[in-house]
Each structure stands twice: as C-alpha cells, then as structure tokens.
Chains A and B, each alone.
Chain A
Amino acid sequence: MEKLLEMAKRVADQAEIYSIATSSNDLSFENYELNEIKNSMQSGYALRIIKNGYIGISYTKNLLDRNQLIENALTSLRGKIAAQFSFSKKGHPKIFNDLYDKSIENIKIETAVEEFKQISSYVKKNLKSEGTLNISSSYGDRKIRLMNSNGVDYSHQSSFYENYSFILFPKSYSHIHTLLLDLKYKPFALDKIQEMIDFYHKAYPEVKVAPGSYPTIFAPSALYSLMWRFNLATNAKSLYEKVSPLENKISEQIFSDKLTIIDDPHIPDECDSRGFDDEGVETSKLTLIDKGVFKSFYNNLEYAAKTDSKPTGHGYKGSMMGGEETVSLKISPSLTNITIAPGDHSFEEMIKKIDKGVVVLGVLGAHSGNLLNGDFSVGLVPGLYVENGEIVGRIKDGMIAGNIYQVMKNVSMVENKVHRAPLGRYPSICFDQVKLSVKS
C-alpha cells in the first residue's frame, strides 16, 4: 500500500487508499442437519485521487497491477467531478484494540458443528408443534487500513462469531429466531433456545383477524422496515437533493417524545464499532432524534461540503441493499451503529397491556414502496395477534401499512432492553394505531 500511495502521489495533488481483507467461515444447518460449509478469503483496494480540483476513483482486489489501478483513477478524472473537499487530516481517532479476539483464528469448525448438534437435539426434544430448525453460523475477521497523502495511516481489525438459530413455520421461511453475536466463540445458552421454543409455541396457531387499526408492537427484528425510511430521510444526500421530508425540520418535534435515536460508533465489544470512517474522519456519537425532536442529518465529506455542514464521520462503503463488492462502492453517508434508546416496559408487560393488537416479528417487502416519503406497506411474516394481553397466534395473510411520520408520533410503550437487529440496535416499540389489511 505504501508503494501504491507513493505512486499515486506522483500523479495527483492528493491520494487516499482504502484496503479491506476479510475471512469468513459460513456453516448452514437446515432441517436439523448440517448442510453446507463455505469458506472465503477476500481482499480489496480502493484508490481516490484529487487533481486540479477534480476527483478520480478506482478499485481492484489485489495489487498485482498498481499502474492499472492508477490509470483507472486518472481515467475517472475525465468526468471532471469537482472535489469539494480534501482528504482527512491526520488526527487521533479512538483506537479499538479489543475488537479483535485472536482466538477466532483457532476456532475449529467441529466446535460449531458440535454446538449445533446440542441445539438440534434440544429443539427436537422440546418442540411440540410442527416446525423446522435451521441455523446459520458464521465466524471470521475483517481488517481495514486507510492511508492518505495527509499522513493518515489508520488500521482497524475486528472479529466476529455469529449464531442465528431459527424455527421455521410450516411451508415458510417465516420464523422465530434467537441471535448470538460476539467477538469470539461463545457457547449458546440453552435458556435462549428454550425462550425461542416457548415463543414459537405461542405463535404457532394461525388466526383470522378483522381488518382495522390496532396497537402494533414492532419487534427489533422488524423495526428496520421503518428505520430504513428514517435513514434515507436523515441522509445529507437526500437533504442536498431536496427530497428529504425533514428538510427545514431541525429542532421540530417529528416523533413521539418517547423516542430517542442516536448513532453510536463507540459501543464497547461491538464488532461494528469504529474510531474512523472509511475516509478517515474520526467518529463520534451523533444524536438524530432527542425525545422526538429532530436534531441532525448525517453526512460524509462530500455531502458535508455540499450542504455546508461539519463532517459527522459517516462516510462508508456501504449500501442499503448490500450485496455489492465493498471496494467497488462509492463512499456515501451511511448509519452503521444506530440505536433507539430503551424505555421502561418489559416486553411481557407490553403484551399484557394490549387488549387487541399486533406484534410484528418480520416483514415482507420492506424495500418496496415510496421510501423517501416514509410510506410502508409490508406483509407480516410473521405478525402475531394479541388478545386480552396474550399472544394467541399468527395472523394469516396480513399486511400493515402507514407512514413513519404519522405512526412514530404515537408511541405508547418502549421496551426497557435493546437488541441487536438488522440496521441497528432497537427495543420493541408499540405504536398506537397501525392499519392492518387481511385477505377477505
């Protein structure tokens, strides 16, 4: 990388190199049996240069041909995309030395397989309803290094061990799950598995429910469908393009005062915690919503400059849908550590306080619809029905719909615990009235 940086500096006014190396071992268990093992060792390099006020970018997966990588960046300059910012200056980002656990290198696949066998035999013995146990287990590590012509040379390394166990309802991927995520191997607690089984039993019966508006609890596993819309609206790119519904709404009460939403990249022992973003800006805690009041957009260097704002340290090579090669992605504003603050009800209390209502555990079609407007209209997979403070089963062929700027204004309860979930860490949240449609 040092050699590449020297070469790039010779042809440009400023240069920056991002590198990533990952290794992962993915095991899948389906229908109580070991099914697949996939291993992966990947690397990648992305180069950005600024020359005569224009920015050029390129990427590759190995450094066999540095000249071609530089040539590609120089060709990119022909687009004459104005660089309205400079690469980061050398600073003192928080260093996370404890996010990489060396023991990850010595995990034997047999360990994960043995653990699965234990979980499998426990579920088989205790599951009283028809269902299928699947487990996705994955472990590995990620190394990131960022260098630039301003003297920045930051490194970050983290490890992960993940076990996502889930029981599928018949004929469906709709399921009840439990998740373990750590920096190193950790045995799965069987009481968590028992909780999953108990929940599955409650959710198992299929029930017919009348359409209408109901108090609706979004479990952490389903909240991403609402937060996806929120993330888009608070992105400085949407502000710059004048398509954010939150334009000119800083300091306005937009959600219930029970909701506080922050992005905290410094949570201890979280494998996604970071001291610097993918363009070397130091990260820090950012409050987006404080007791329902909208406080801030988030940005990267490009959109900080374009919106005349201070960089918030959210420049990442990420995308909402995922799937693309990391190094191929243009750095854009991205929330990576979003957290909704816990409230004061246990999940069980929340259920008990509902006369007739819905619990959304999973959704179909979160990516569809008018996301920028905050609209959602999603299938329930599953959505549970609550009657007289008890879960009585899962709703057959139901959809819920609304707009986050109406629904999130009316919050009755927030769970007192935060759970790891897609796109963040959330408690369960009960919204007063959400429309439910069911097939007539």
Chain B
Amino acid sequence: MQRELKEIISKVNADYCDIRYEKMNTTKITYNGQELTEIGANQTDGYVLRVLKNGGFASISITNREDIDRAIKIVSESATLLGRELKEKVKLELPTAAVDDVPLTLEGDPRKIPIDEKLSLLQHYNLIVLKSPNIQTTTLTYNEVYRDKYFATSHGSFIHQPLITLSIGGTIVAKRERDGLIQNVRATVGGSNGFNKLLNRDNVFLDKAKIASDLLDANPVKGGTYNLVLDPNMTGVFTHEAFGHFSEADIVENMPSLREKMKIGDKLGSDILNIIDDATAMGQVGYYKYDDEGVALRPVTLMEKGVLTGRLHSMKTSTVFNEPISGHTVAEDNRYSPIVRMGCIYIKPGNMTFDELLKAAGNGIYVIGAKGGQTNGENFSFAAQYAYEIKDGKLGAMVRDINIMGNLFTTLKNVNGIANDFKLSEAGGCGKGQLNIKSCHGGPHILIKDALIGGV
C-alpha cells in the first residue's frame, strides 16, 4: 500500500499533497421488536486526495482506483483556482513527518468472533428489553466498524492506523394501551477497545426498559426557566453542543463576530469551569493516535477557570489563528476529506457531592440521558430522555419531554456547581457535516442556573 500511495503522490505537481486510502469492514445486525430485520458484514473502500498549490487547498474523494489520474487533474485545477481567488493564501502547519504502524489494542477482537455469536448477544439484550413491562418494540443494533486507514504525504509521512468502533444500542419504545401514549429511551453500550465491553451489560438494558415504562406515567414538564442538574451524559452533550463546536477552529474561522467573542484569554465561563479535549486515552470511544492529516493527537485544555485557553485545529486553521496544531482533523469515512472535530471533550470534576448539587439547585429539575443536541452559533439545544423534579434540594417525581435551549455566552457563566464524579459516554455521535460515531464526551454532574426548557 505504501508503494501505491507514494506512486500516486509522485504524479501530483503541488506544494503539498496527502492521500488516504481507507477500507471499512462493517458488521450490522438489527432487531425491530421480535424480528431480526438486518444482518451482514460488508466491505467498502476509497481514496481521498488533498492538494495544496500556490496557496489553494482542495480535495477529492473517489471510489475507484482507475479514476485516480482524472481525480489528480480535477483536484489540481480546483486548488489552482482557489490559489488564484483566495485573498488569504492557505498555509499549512505541517507536523514532523511520521512513519508508523499503529497497533490495535483490544480486549476481545471482534474480527475473530463469528457473526452468530454477535447475533446471540444482541438477541439476548433484545429479549431482556422485550420481556419488560409495557415495552411495545425495540430497534436495537449491533454495529461494528473496522476502519483500516493508510495515509501518506508528499513530505514523507506514511501511517497505517486501524481503528474499531463497537456498539450495541438503539431505541426502546413503551406504549400505554389505554390511550396509545408512546414513550422512548435510548440504551447503548460500546467503545473502541474490544468486544468484551459489550458483555455482561444486562443491567443497562433492564434499567432503560424500566425507565421507558415509567415514563408512561410521568407528567410532561412545563415550559419555563429552571435550575438544572445534569447527569454526566447530559453534561457531555451540553459541553459538546454549547461550547465544543466553537472550540473547533474551522467553525469560527470565518464568523468574524463569533471569533471576536472567542479570543484566547476571554472569560466565557464561571470560575469553576475547566474543559478539556483528550481522546488520547485508550478505552474511551473517541481514541485514535493520528488524525487524518497525519498529526499526532494531543490533549488540549480548552477552558481553565472559565477562561478560553485553547482550540482544536487543522493544519490550515493552525496558521490562520497562529496556534499549535492539535491532531483533531478527522474524516468519518472514505467519502470525506477531514474536518476539525472533538475527540473526547469533557468538564473536569469539581469538589461537590451530588447531594450538595441538589441542595444548591433548590427547586429545579434533574435531567438524565441525552437524546440529541444541536448548535447554531451562540444558541444550542439538547434534549433529555427523562428527568426528576427537584424540590427543596430533594428528588421528586419523574417528568418527561425535556428540551433545553441555551446561549453560549450566558449559560457557561451559569454553571454554578460541579460534582466530584465523572463518566464518559460509550457511544459517539456528532452530525457536523459527516455523521461521526466516535466523538466522545462526558464529565461529572453539574448544576446550571436559569436554563430554558420548552415543554410540550
């Protein structure tokens, strides 16, 4: 593969170019209720070529090897045009050239496990859920994505990096027969360090089936402003949506009003808020060693005591902001050129206990289990699977239909309490242009004062 990629690079007349060849082996098995509806293992592959020429930087993705000469011509023309048109020519902060064959460290190699065994495990969890009271149906999927990436650059890097992302999860739907009310929750187990992570997880599915059933008797929350205590999963989504996307340099690069408000050294959060992106640790779902520009990943402290201290970069944005490269430029698969992404973002634990957080909240809502989030510049939204009222610092009745909206510049300052616990998500998920299944997040329980809930 090294020879093939080098040969392609040798055909490109440019200031810099890199090429990624990526094979993906995907095993997917799905149950919808009692029925197995999908099972299979499949392979795809493709090339992504990027070219820097006279200050223009363009990319092309192709499926077929025989299209490579045409692709080189097209992408070179695009780069030339960009170089001619751009007022600010693109400069790349190149890392030291790396030659590496990254080992795959797994506890239980799913490639050696027969598909029948994977099917049995999924079936086991599915049955646990379906036997629970009031469960109408499920959509539970075993998803195994084995990426085998080969990356080469014109400045001498050649990196082979295999990565495997695994999960069993999906939606559990409960139904109240008397009026047809439907409620649903999500349950997922998984990670990037092997098949063993999926074993012996009955409690996750049992607990979530019970929550789905309990939601049938919960009252909808009323729209309004509340003090919120977030569980670690919600803290993770909050951090990802409310702040994380705006630490991605390619997002703020061409938004002058936001860039002005997000300078290194600006105070954006409360004094107790410390935020880090660190996907270097093995065992969490976001793990990788090199990004898709061949840059070695490093931890980045994004916020310290509420002050903006760092940003996530590509080789291009690093020169635009005059800040160091960080190894956060990742493509979801062989159809895409890489974009800046969070690897594993989290809030550092504080020193309060969970009970102290509830007490500090006084009256409010304890929200649990993320159910999607979205950002739109200074505004963000995220939803919870279920929640409990907090009355006089104590947990009360379950409530449902929690959709929260906030403002980046006010909500981060309203983080008034951080617990001393900590948990990372077992599944990634981010829809920035390419549907990413690795972007990890988490943190401790936190308290946010005065957050807006939409109600239903």
Instruction: Produce 1/0 per residue, A94-114, CB < 8 A to B.
Output: 000000000000000110010
Residue in B35, B45, B257 whose Cβ sees the most chain A Cβ within 10 Å: B257
Q: Which residues of chain B are near A328, meaning CB under 8 Å? A: 26, 28, 42, 44
B323 contacts A by Cβ under 8 Å:
no
- How far in angstroms is the closest Cβ of chain B from A351? 24
Q: Does B448 contact A (CB under 8 A)?
A: no
Interface string of A39-65 (1 = CB under 8 A from B): 111111000000000001111111000
Is B405 within 8 A of A365, CB to CB?
Answer: yes
**A349-392 to B contact mask, C-beta < 8 Å, 1/0:** 00000000000001011011110110111110100000000000
User: In the complex, how many angstroms separate the beta carbon of A386 from the nearest chain B beta carbon?
Assistant: 20
C-alpha spacing A35/B250, complex, angstroms: 11
Which of A60, A109, A323, A401 makes the CB contact (< 8 A) with B456?
A: A401
Q: Are B225 and A439 in contact (CB under 8 A)?
A: yes
Q: From known contacts A168-B255, A368-B371, infer whether A324 and B435 are also in contact, taking CB-CB under 8 Å.
A: yes
Q: Does B258 contact A (CB under 8 A)?
A: yes
Quick one: which of B42, B64, B182, B382 has the most chain A CB within 10 A?
A: B42
How many angstroms between the C-alpha atoms of A439 and B254 in the bound complex?
A: 29
B403 contacts A241, CB within 8 Å?
no
Contact in complex: B61, A34 (CB < 8 Å): no
B127 proximal to A (CB < 8 A) = no
Answer yes or no: B86 CB below 8 A from chain A CBs. Answer: yes
- Given A113-B85, A245-B182, A372-B182, A379 contacting B379 (CB threshold 8 A): yes
Residues of B within 8 A of A170 (CB): 257-258
**Which residues does chain B contribute within 8 Å of A379, judged by CB atoms?**
374, 376, 379-381, 405, 454
User: A247 within 8 Å of B by Cβ?
Assistant: yes
CB interface residues, B 396-446, toward A, < 8 Å = 400-401, 403, 405-407, 409, 431, 434-435
Q: Is the CB of B62 within 8 A of A42?
A: yes
Chain A hits for B452, CB < 8 A = 397, 399, 437-439
> Could you say which residues of chain A place their CB within 8 Å of the CB of B395?
none
Give the residues in chain B near A364, CB-CB below 8 Å. 374-376, 379-381, 405
B35-57 interface bits toward A, Cβ cutoff 8 Å, 1 = contact, 0 = none: 11111111111100000000000
Nearest-CB distance from B405 to chain A (Å)?
4
Could you pull out 15 A-B pairs where Cβ atoms are within 8 angstroms?
Answer: A37-B59, A56-B40, A72-B41, A109-B78, A168-B255, A242-B137, A242-B175, A243-B175, A364-B374, A365-B383, A372-B184, A376-B456, A379-B405, A381-B379, A401-B223
- A3 on the interface (CB 8 Å rule)? no
**B180:A245 contact, CB within 8 angstroms:** yes
Segment of A75-83, A251-259, A283-291, A414-422 engaged in the interface with chain B: A75-83
Tell me, rounded to whole Å, the shortest Cβ–Cβ distance linking A33 to chain B.
6
Q: How far is the CA of A36 from the CA of B79 in the complex (A)?
A: 9
Interface centre among B38, B137, B379, B407 (most CB of A within 10 A): B379
Give the residue name and chain of the A residue nearest to B383 (CB).
A368
Whole-angstrom CA separation of A211 from B115 in the bound complex = 54
- B contacts, CB < 8 Å to A: 26, 28-30, 32-33, 35-46, 58-64, 67, 70-71, 74-75, 77-79, 81-82, 85-87, 115-116, 119, 136-137, 173, 175, 180-184, 223-225, 253-258, 261, 332-335, 337, 371-383, 400-401, 403, 405-407, 409, 431, 434-435, 450, 452-456
Task: Kindly state the separation between the CA atoms of A78 and B455 in the bound complex, as whole angstroms.
Answer: 46
Contact of A370 among B39, B115, B137, B183 (CB under 8 A): B183
CB-CB under 8 A from B381, the residues of chain A are 364-365, 368, 378-379, 399
Chain B residues closer than 8 Å to A400, beta-carbon distance:
454
With contacts A42-B46, A81-B37, A368-B373 known, is A399 near B405, CB below 8 A? yes
> B377 contacts A72, CB within 8 Å?
no
Tell me, rounded to whole Å, the shortest Cβ–Cβ distance linking A366 to chain B: 8
| Residue among B38, B45, B431 making CB contact with A330, cutoff 8 Å | B38
Cβ of A243 and Cβ of B137 under 8 Å apart?
Answer: yes
Chain A residue contacts of B435, Cβ below 8 A:
321-324
| CB contact between A435 and one of B223, B337, B403 (< 8 Å): that residue | B223
Looking at the assembled complex, report how far the CB atom of B58 sits from the nearest CB atom of chain A, in whole angstroms.
Answer: 5
Please, how many angstroms separate the alpha-carbon atoms of A132 and B258 in the complex? 11
> Inside 8 A of A377's CB, which chain B residues have their CB?
223, 383, 401, 403, 454-456
- For B434, the chain A residues whose CB sits under 8 A away are 323
Contact of A381 among B30, B334, B376 (CB under 8 A): B376
Complex contact B74–A243 (CB within 8 A): no
Q: How far is the CA of A322 from the CA of B261 in the complex (A)?
A: 32
Q: By the criterion CB–CB under 8 Å, are A72 and B335 in contact?
A: no
> Does A402 interact with chain B (Cβ within 8 Å)?
yes
A118 at the A/B interface (Cβ < 8 Å)? no
The answer to whether B78 touches A37, judged by C-beta atoms less than 8 angstroms apart, is yes
> How distant is the Cα of A60 from the Cα of B334 in the complex, in angstroms?
12
| A171 touching B63 in the complex, CB below 8 Å, given contacts A399-B403, A401-B456 | no
Contacts of A80 in B (CB 8 A): 36
Residues of A near B175 (CB, < 8 A) are 242-243
Whether A33 and B223, one on each chain, are in contact in the complex, defined by CB atoms closer than 8 angstroms, is: no
Asked if A178 is at the interface of the complex by the 8 Å CB criterion, the answer is: no
**Does A68 count as interface, using CB distance less than 8 angstroms?**
yes
CB-CB under 8 A from A373, the residues of chain B are 181-183
A130 within 8 A of B: yes
Nearest A residue to B261 via CB reads A171
Contact residues in A for B383 (Cβ distance below 8 Å): 365, 368-369, 377
Q: Is the CB of A37 within 8 A of B82?
A: yes
Nearest residue (CB) in A for B30 is A330
Do the beta carbons of A39 and B36 come within 8 Å of each other?
no
Q: Are A437 and B224 in contact (CB under 8 A)?
A: yes
- 10 A-B pairs with the lowest CB-CB distances in the bound complex, closest first: A323-B435, A172-B377, A368-B383, A399-B454, A437-B223, A30-B254, A79-B39, A377-B454, A365-B381, A377-B403
| Distance A263 CA – B32 CA, assembled complex (angstroms) | 26
Q: Which chain A residues lie closer than 8 Å to B335 at the CB level?
A: 40, 42, 325
How far does the alpha carbon of A11 sit from the alpha carbon of B200 in the complex, in Å? 39
CA distance A401 to B256 in the complex (A): 32
Instruction: Say whether A330 contacts B454, CB under 8 Å.
Output: no
Least CB distance, B259 to chain A, in whole angstroms: 10
User: Given the known A-B contacts A243-B137, A323-B431, are A39 and B59 also in contact in the complex, defined by CB atoms under 8 Å?
Assistant: yes
Central interface residue in B38, B261, B400, by most chain A CB within 10 Å:
B38
B382 and A368 contact, CB distance less than 8 A: yes
A194 within 8 A of B: no
Besides A39-B60, A323-B332, A379-B454, 17 other A-B contacts (C-beta < 8 A): A30-B255, A37-B58, A39-B78, A40-B60, A41-B63, A60-B43, A109-B78, A132-B255, A132-B256, A171-B409, A172-B377, A172-B378, A325-B44, A330-B30, A368-B383, A399-B453, A402-B456
